[in-house]
Amino acid sequence: NGLVRFFNGEAGSLRLFLVYQPIVLAENRHHITGAEVLLRCQDDELGFVPPNRVVDICERVGLGKVLGRWLFRRVASETRALYCDLGFRGQLSINLNPAMLTEQLVDDVQALLLDPGLPPSALCMEITEDHAALDFDRINDLIGRLHQLGVSVALDDFGTGHSSLEYVRELRVDRLKIDRCFVDGIEHSEDKSRFLGSIIAMAQQAYMKSVIEGVENEAQWQQVRHLGGTLIQGYHAYRPMPLADYLALLADRQ
């Protein structure tokens, strides 16, 4: 009911807001290619609530579409400054919850491009393997229609879901976001490092960019670079931050 109050615009104890985690080139950490938009939830009584839980609850009680609409509206209003004032050309990666994966999505994305005036290349939609496995043909069709708009698509949490490699092969995604569990320990284990290397190579062979998540130290960074990863998203580069900090960071880089 905190969620219902929230989406009705009524005062309540729950606050939802967005943070931005920069994504950088593995080859040059000063080159910021964009950011992933991440949901944060703060409740007066419960404190910090994991975004996954809020998303799951929304989906279960039928608020998935409402959450998606809120997210897009928020992104539209928050990123106006990035593209209009700062002239940023980079990308925003947005996590889609299952209820957003309908025909309606194409219209919603189009609206998100038109309203703040974002170029299509500014948007990357993130879906997870499990979402794609739910209804493979329909999701792949949706990906094709996003491509027609010029918007790219990433497969998130790669390697942690229940989908088969056949699905991954047939999905027409542009990016593979390799889950942080595959980075964990690579600096101490030749086996783990080689395994990550083979996933990166697979992405390359399929003409996908790889985004390596969860790089937390310099040793991991050097390994990932050596293994040929394209992009890095991790605490060793940047932690998720408020939009104001992201704006300041980009202004400083330009």
Nearer CB in complex with ligand G: 38/57: 38
Contact 98, 40 (CB under 8 A): no
Nearer CB in complex with Mn ion: 108/126: 126
Q: Does 126 bind Na ion (CB under 5 A)?
A: no
Rounded to whole angstroms, how far apart are CA atoms 187 and 236?
A: 14
Helices 51-60 and 64-80: crossing angle, nearest 10°? 130
Q: Does 156 bind Mn ion (CB under 5 A)?
A: yes
Give one DSSP letter per residue of 93-105, joined into a string: EEEPPGGG-STHH
Rounded to whole angstroms, how far apart are CA atoms 201 and 245?
A: 34
Nearer CB in complex with ligand G: 52/121: 52
Contact 161, 128 (CB under 8 A): yes
Q: Does 129 bind Mn ion (CB under 5 A)?
A: no
Amino acid at 49: V
Contact 178, 148 (CB under 8 A): no
Tally the C-alpha atoms within 13 A of residue 192's C-alpha that lie toward its C-beta. 13
CB closest to Na ion, residue no = 157
Indicate which of Mn ion, ligand G, Na ion, none lies near residue 39 (CB less than 5 to 8 Å, by partner kind).
ligand G
Q: Does 95 bind Mn ion (CB under 5 A)?
A: yes
All residues at 6 or more sequence positions from 245 whose CB lies less than 8 Å from its CB, including other chains = 20
**Nearest distance from residue 170's CB to Mn ion, in Å?**
21
Tally the C-alpha atoms within 13 A of residue 42's C-alpha that lie toward its C-beta. 5
Amino acid at 1: N
- Count CB atoms within 10 A of the CB of residue 139: 20
Contact 220, 233 (CB under 8 A): no
**Nearest distance from residue 130's CB to Mn ion, in Å?**
13
Segment 159-198, which members bind Mn ion (CB under 5 A)?
none
DSSP assignment, residue 29? T
Q: Which residues bind ligand G (CB under 6 A)?
A: 21, 38-39, 50-52, 55, 71, 95, 97, 156-157, 177, 180, 213-216, 233-235, 240
Nearer CB in complex with Mn ion: 2/240: 240
* Number of residues near Mn ion (by CB under 5 A): 3
Which of 21, 41, 108, 126 is close enough to bind Mn ion by CB under 5 A? Answer: 126
For residue 38, the cross-strand partners are: 19
Indicate which of ligand G, Na ion, Mn ion, none lies near residue 108 (CB less than 5 to 8 Å, by partner kind).
none
Segment 155-184, which members bind Na ion (CB under 5 A)?
156-157, 177
Nearer CB in complex with Na ion: 131/177: 177
**Nearest distance from residue 7's CB to Na ion, in Å?**
25
Indicate which of Na ion, ligand G, Mn ion, none lies near residue 78 (CB less than 5 to 8 Å, by partner kind).
none
Indicate which of Mn ion, ligand G, Na ion, none lies near residue 51 (CB less than 5 to 8 Å, by partner kind).
ligand G
Which parts of this chain interact with Mn ion (CB under 5 A)?
Answer: 95, 126, 156
